[in-house]
Amino acid sequence: MKLIKSPLEAKDIFNLIAGDKVLISGTVYTLRDSAHKLLLQLFKEGKDFPFPTQNAVIYYAAPTPPKAGHPLGSLGPTTASRMDVYVPMLLEKGIRGMIGKGKRSDEVRELLKQYKAVYFLAAGGAGAYLAQFVKDAKPVAFQELGPEAIYEVQLEGFPAIVAIDGEGRSIWDEEEEKEKENKDKI
């Protein structure tokens, strides 16, 4: 198990290999579909993003309302591939880590390699369990979007798996090779 801090440092990214189990601590920012659209608008206008993006990690998630004594309810990952089209924009802005669920496109894998960034897989369906690793959370932008606002979230020991590393290696390489071989046989 590797311990990593967010924002990420170049040496941390270099040391991460697809398949590594990690515990993430530090600040991450939640991003869902609607917030991406608003960020794209800012990007097109050449404006700054409403949160610090340099080496930042984003989490494809939206929190449920908090329970008494907790910063938020549950915080499970959502399907990352829906946001694939926005990845070039995020990487260009300096973001170097993404936490989500499900596979990414080949284009995203190439971009992660190009920008030396990492995609982490979090356990789907376990949002209430994952929320226990959240120490603090507050909305920082687009509050009109409700749960889809951008939240600044303080994590401590959040469990994830490196699905695509900074060299473009993925935990699905072997499986994809097999698929290709089977297709060739047919």
Partner 1 sequence: MRKKKKKRKIRTRFEDWLPLVGQLADKPECPNCGEEREWSVFIEKIEFCEHCFLDYLEFLILSQGLSIFDFL
- Which stretches of the chain bind partner 1, using CB under 8 A? 64, 73-74, 76, 101-103, 121-129, 161, 163, 171-172, 174-175
Q: Which is nearer to partner 1, 34 or 64 (CB)?
A: 64
What minimum distance in Å lies between the beta carbon of 121 and partner 1?
Answer: 6
Q: How far is the CB of 42 from partner 1 (least distance, A)?
A: 30
Q: Which is nearer to partner 1, 21 or 47 (CB)?
A: 21
For residue 104, give the nearest of 119, 93, 123, 115 by alpha carbon: 119
Out of 32, 36, 101, 109, which one is annotated catalytic? 36
Catalytic status, residue 36: yes
CB of 73 to partner 1, least distance (A): 7
**Between 14 and 129, whose beta carbon lies closer to partner 1?**
129
Indicate which residues carry an active-site annotation. 36
